[in-house]
Structure 1
Amino acid sequence: MNSGVLKTKFKLAVHEANGQKYEDLFVRIMMQCEQDFKPVKPHGNIGDRGNNGWISTSGRYYQCYAPEDLPANTETAIAKLNKDFGTLKSYWDTISPVREFYFVVNDRYQGASPHIYQAVSALKIEHGLTIAEVFLSGQLEEKLFSQKNEVIADVLGALVLESDADNVIYKHLVTQAIQKLELVYWLNTSDNLIAGGIAAKLVDSFAEFTTIVFRTNMPGLKPELEGAIYGLAARIDALVNHFTHSEHSSLFGNRIWSQDRSWKKIQRTPSVYKQMDEASQKWREELFYLHRNLVHALNIFATCVRNSVDPGFFMGQSFVVNDSLGTYNGLQPYELIPDGFIEL
């Protein structure tokens, strides 16, 4: 996952969040990060009694304050702090004694006034609290980004950050895959690979797709899909290199990359001929495995696309290794859906 992009998005969300919006952000993060955290929903004219969220087993309470301009509202912040803590203490202390208290403020990464810290410290002393602290937006960021990537993406995406612009990037890459890999004609491409060749224009198109992928700065909101895209590009790159960077393949008539058998026309000693024949056969065997791995990568990619971008991608069908002549199956046509990668 692109953590830099996600942190930038988080900071933007913090800067835009006032009042209830920041409290919602705080609550969603705490519910993901603290198993026993419970939000408090305001009820009628009694409100939330100064409690925006708590952990009853430890007597830990949180109170949120997110004005548009915290430095200009220090006196208001302290007044709210004292008033709300008094309400909280009188109501909630009988339910679960208040031992820890956090004054959660949206400081927009600017810090809080020393007067606020002094007021919180005074509450700690006056009420004999174990902990009483100011909880800043930077600390909220640290708490979120200490979680697993899926949790981070879920929190940010569920709030405001899975924007149309982000989905445009994913949809663009899916469209490029369909076009550059000519997926509509995959059965024909697979058949040609079984025969040991591939169209030169398709090799160029494959290479264009990998270039597009590795130049794209992905949003980082769909880690499984992004991993599948990168994985697909890597398998394509390996297949392309097998043709374009090997002494056992050649470009024929600028149209077809294929296994090079021209060496057979030159007279050689039996031992040299045997060595070259074995090397050529190994190239053909590796091509089959690279082909097979690419098909498995295509199916992983297709599953991720269906899960997060397009449920109807290729009508739910799997990609296959297509051997219409039965080259590897005793002249009996067959289709293979790989169940894993085979590393060379």
Structure 2
Amino acid sequence: MDKTERYIAKIIFQNRILKYKGQQFEDFFVAIMTRANEQFQAVKAYGNIGDRKNDGFDPTTGTYYQVFAPGDTSKDSTIYTGVKKLKEDFEKLYSNWNDICPIKRFSFVVNDRFEGLPPPIIEMSIELDNRPEYAGVKIGTFTAKDLERIFDELDDFAKQDILGIIPDEIMAVVEYDALHETVTYLLNTELPEDYSDNLVVPDFDNKIIFNGLSPVVSHHLVTGSYQEGQLMQYFNESPGVKEILQKKFRALYEEAKVQITDQTENCADRRFYYILEQACPKRTMSVQTSVLVLMAYYFSSCDIFEEPD
């Protein structure tokens, strides 16, 4: 990967962290750990015994992981559940696994969405770590930042294997079948449609500058706009689709603003790639090209991103 591709890969990783919860996050965690450490073994739930509180471990070092990925770690009920899960899961892990493969280190993996952990969870990990019956076991927490550091150390092939296709600077020619597949997917995606229309179409370059979009994203938008002719031909053959997609992309942009706040680093770029991922029915180059062309069109008409003052 070159510098641009690494930048995009990092943003896509961070957006996945925001999006994933529950089993989806656990699968993402396991995919990264498996590629980062050839000794790492994922543990699949089996029958009524489950995974015996072990989501994955390295038997050569005695390092064990248990994943907790709620929708929101700031709620009191979620914090209570997290503290309870940390304590009970480790106690059960210790009783089930320590005699099989001695536990030297236990990490309670929490998808905190880069917001940090609430004190009660940290306090419980320290309390367990200080208990004499668990002497010799280092007990701690593992957050999104820790997973990001491991991801950053992966080679380019592993990163691409996990994330899928990284948008290329050289955009392919949009294909009719891929465009139709993308449009069909978006038409069948349930999104709120209560946003008003923008009547003013701003200057394309001014809008890029106003929104603080990087040269990388600017290149995608400009290159995508070059294929507007093929897109308009598709719209002419499919009456009414353009207006429906307008509302879909506006809804996706509003969703991106909720997920990625103005205080988030590179928030504009991250919103761009959030919409790109959400609008792709599958991760192929042809489908991705279709979405980029659509995004360029609805960017120019001010249906996504902010209109300059």
Give the TM-score taking structure 1 as reference length.
0.48
| Alignment pair present for 1:39 and 2:46 | no
Distance in 2 between residues matched to 1:147 and 1:33, nearest whole Å: 6
The corresponding residue for 2:115 is 110
How far has the Cα of 1:171 moved from its partner? Answer: 2.2
| Alignment pair present for 1:11 and 2:14 | yes
Partner of 1:51: helix, strand, or coil? coil
The corresponding residue for 1:227 is none
Distance in 1 between residues matched to 2:66 and 2:285, nearest whole Å: 38
Distance in 1 between residues matched to 2:35 and 2:48, nearest whole Å: 29
Partner of residue 50 from structure 1, selected from 53, 62, 67? 53
Equivalences for residues 156-305 of structure 1 within 5 A:
156-157=163-164, 162=165, 166=167, 170-172=171-173, 216-217=219-220
The corresponding residue for 1:153 is 160
One-letter amino acid matched to 1:65 = F
In structure 2, relative to structure 1, the CA distance for the partners of 1:115 and 1:309 (3 Å cut) is closer
Q: Deviations over 1:27-71 (max 9, x none)?
A: 000000011000000001111111000011211100000000112
The structure with the largest alpha-carbon Rg is 1
| Alignment pair present for 1:133 and 2:129 | no
The corresponding residue for 2:95 is 90
Partner of 2:173: helix, strand, or coil? helix
Q: Deviations over 1:233-255 (max 9, x none)?
A: xxxxxxxxxxxxxxxxxxxxxxx
How far has the Cα of 1:119 moved from its partner? Answer: 0.6
Distance in 2 between residues matched to 1:64 and 1:170, nearest whole Å: 38
Determine if contact 1:56/1:96 at 8 Å carries over to the other structure.
yes
In structure 2, relative to structure 1, the CA distance for the partners of 1:43 and 1:169 (3 Å cut) is farther
The structure in which a higher percent of residues are strand is 1
Between the aligned residues of both structures, percent identity stands at 34
Distance in 1 between residues matched to 2:107 and 2:156, nearest whole Å: 26
Q: Deviations over 1:198-217 (max 9, x none)?
A: xxxxxxxxxxxxxxx9x845
Determine if contact 2:108/2:140 at 8 Å carries over to the other structure.
yes
The corresponding residue for 2:30 is 27
One-letter amino acid matched to 2:162 = V
Partner of 1:36: helix, strand, or coil? coil
Q: Deviations over 1:314-342 (max 9, x none)?
A: xxxxxxxxxxxxxxxxxxxxxxxxxxxxx
Unmatched runs of 5 consecutive residues or more in structure 1? 175-212, 219-307, 311-344
Higher relative contact order (CA 8 A, sep 6+): 2
Give the TM-score taking structure 2 as reference length.
0.53
Determine if contact 2:169/2:219 at 8 Å carries over to the other structure.
no
How far has the Cα of 1:133 moved from its partner? Answer: 1.5
Distance in 1 between residues matched to 2:174 and 2:34, nearest whole Å: 34
In structure 2, relative to structure 1, the CA distance for the partners of 1:4 and 1:173 (3 Å cut) is farther
The corresponding residue for 1:122 is 127
How far has the Cα of 1:19 moved from its partner? Answer: 0.6
Determine if contact 2:129/2:138 at 8 Å carries over to the other structure.
yes
Unmatched runs of 5 consecutive residues or more in structure 2? 176-215, 222-283, 287-309
How far has the Cα of 1:172 moved from its partner? Answer: 2.9
Determine if contact 1:52/1:64 at 8 Å carries over to the other structure.
yes
Q: Deviations over 1:146-174 (max 9, x none)?
A: 121121111111xxxx48xx489642399
The corresponding residue for 1:337 is none
**Root mean square deviation of aligned Cα:** 2.9
Distance in 2 between residues matched to 1:22 and 1:11, nearest whole Å: 12
